[in-house]
């Protein structure tokens, strides 16, 4: 492990230098990795591990069965029903949705053998066991590798050679090999680097982040600014460009390249001064919302909402309507038009 200074706090991280792919293959040479759930996260991790030369099988139902076949998994050889794949695996990657994990657990736990590893990419089911009922048997390893991005990004970053950062943790070490198995799978799925966490910290930070800056807050503040600009007679094109396009196509790339100060330093003096003057006002305004959000995560209220929604028979239909409402709003219809005018899009036409 490498000891790295993160803003004055030293943390141990693991990269390919400390744990090369060859070492991961050695650790996992006798393992069959069963990916249960071929959704966005399952697909990304399964394909990356297969491309890296690991023995991977997939457990999937009707929903993504054809997608797995299209990606080269063969029924009866590398593609099975979830329960059958779990029985065949020695490392069982439980990558169903959180609600589905709860629903399938009574069957899934009967498929685990002594010495197996039960793998998660989210601490949800283990941490909120009172609500999910997911309590692993004591004779298996229970491990976690949580990529810091969607499964789509797990795959695209792997293909472009950059990898995606992941946290990792061990909840239960029954074999004495749990940590090396965890790190090996973390490297196998294509992590850029791995940093330690616990199941608790992973789920608390993840649920807060998704509802906050990464998705909920981001969508909300974009809508707020767009609506104010439109209310004051700015065109949809102008409102969208000043709210979304400039952020995603210019400024956030500067932040990713070298930090927020670097982005500020590469903007006009007028932009710098205004941003610095208003930054703290926005921080202070939203801090109480984040405090409420974290409390809701910590108490399990957010978990209850997720499980109740996921257990509803018409959830997929209701979700689709909610997503369509976003897509069909003026703001994101404007976004569709703006994206169609990007030079790279027009060259393809």
Q: Give me Rg for the CA atoms of the chain.
A: 22
The Cα 83–Cα 60 span in angstroms is 9
Instruction: Copy the structure tokens of residue 64.
Output: 């993504």
Six-digit token pair at 337?
A: 């038009």
Reduce the secondary structure of 265-332 to three states and give it as a string: HCCCHHHHHHHHHHHHHHHHHHHHHHHHHHHHHHCCHHHHHHHHHHCCCCHHHHHHHHHHHHHHCHHH
Identify each DSSP E strand in the chain by its residue range. 2-6, 9-13, 33-36, 56-59, 79-80, 91-94, 117-120, 141-147, 164-172, 191-196
Measuring CA to CA, how many Å separate 274 from each of 157, 244, 264, 269, 317?
A: 34, 18, 10, 9, 43
Q: Residues 36, 117: contact at Cβ < 8 Å?
A: no
Rounded Cα–Cα distance for residues 187 and 54 (Å):
11
* CA dist list (Å): 284 to 197, 289, 290: 28, 10, 10
Active site residue 122: yes
Distance CA 15, CA 21 (A): 10
Helix, coil or strand: residue 260: helix
Q: 53 vs 65, 154, 188, 324, CA distance in Å? A: 22, 17, 9, 39
Distances (CA, A) of 137 to 59, 70, 115, 118, 180: 21, 35, 10, 10, 20
Determine which one of 102, 122, 211, 230 is catalytic.
122
The residue behind tokens 């996992």 is: 28
Helix (H, G, I), strand (E, B) or coil at 36: strand
**What are the catalytic residues?**
122
């Amino acid at each position: 492990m490498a000891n790295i200074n993160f803003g004055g706090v030293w943390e141990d991280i693991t990269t390919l230098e400390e744990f090369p792919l060859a070492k991961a293959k050695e650790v996992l040479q006798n393992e069959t990795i069963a990916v249960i759930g071929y959704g966005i996260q399952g697909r990304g991790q399964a394909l990356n591990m297969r491309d890296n030369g690991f023995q991977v099988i997939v457990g999937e139902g009707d929903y993504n069965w054809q997608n797995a076949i299209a990606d080269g998994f063969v029924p009866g050889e590398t593609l099975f029903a979830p329960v059958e794949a779990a029985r065949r695996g020695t490392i069982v990657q439980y990558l169903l949705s959180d609600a589905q994990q709860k629903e399938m657990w009574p069957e899934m736990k009967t498929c685990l053998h002594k010495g197996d590893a039960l793998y998660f990419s989210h601490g949800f089911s283990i941490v909120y066991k009172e609500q999910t009922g997911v309590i692993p048997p004591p004779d298996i390893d229970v491990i976690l590798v949580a990529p810091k991005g969607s499964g789509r990004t797990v795959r695209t970053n792997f293909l472009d050679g950059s990898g995606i950062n992941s946290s990792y943790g061990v909840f239960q070490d029954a074999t004495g090999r749990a940590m090396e198995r965890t790190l090996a799978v973390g490297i196998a799925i294509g992590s850029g680097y791995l940093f330690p966490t616990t199941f608790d910290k992973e789920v608390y930070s993840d649920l807060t982040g998704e509802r906050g800056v990464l998705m909920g807050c981001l969508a909300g503040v974009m809508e707020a600014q767009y609506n104010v600009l439109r209310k004051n007679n700015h065109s949809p094109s102008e409102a969208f460009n000043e709210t979304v396009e400039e952020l995603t196509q210019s400024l956030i790339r500067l932040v990713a390249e070298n930090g927020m100060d670097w982005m500020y330093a590469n903007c006009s003096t007028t932009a710098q001064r205004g941003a610095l003057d208003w930054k703290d006002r926005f921080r202070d305004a939203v801090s109480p919302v984040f405090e409420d959000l974290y409390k809701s995560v910590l108490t399990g209220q957010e978990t209850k909402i997720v499980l109740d929604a996921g257990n509803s028979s018409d959830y997929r239909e209701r979700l689709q309507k909610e997503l369509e409402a976003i897509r069909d709003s003026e703001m994101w219809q404007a976004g569709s038009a703006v994206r169609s005018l990007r030079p790279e899009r027009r060259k393809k036409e």
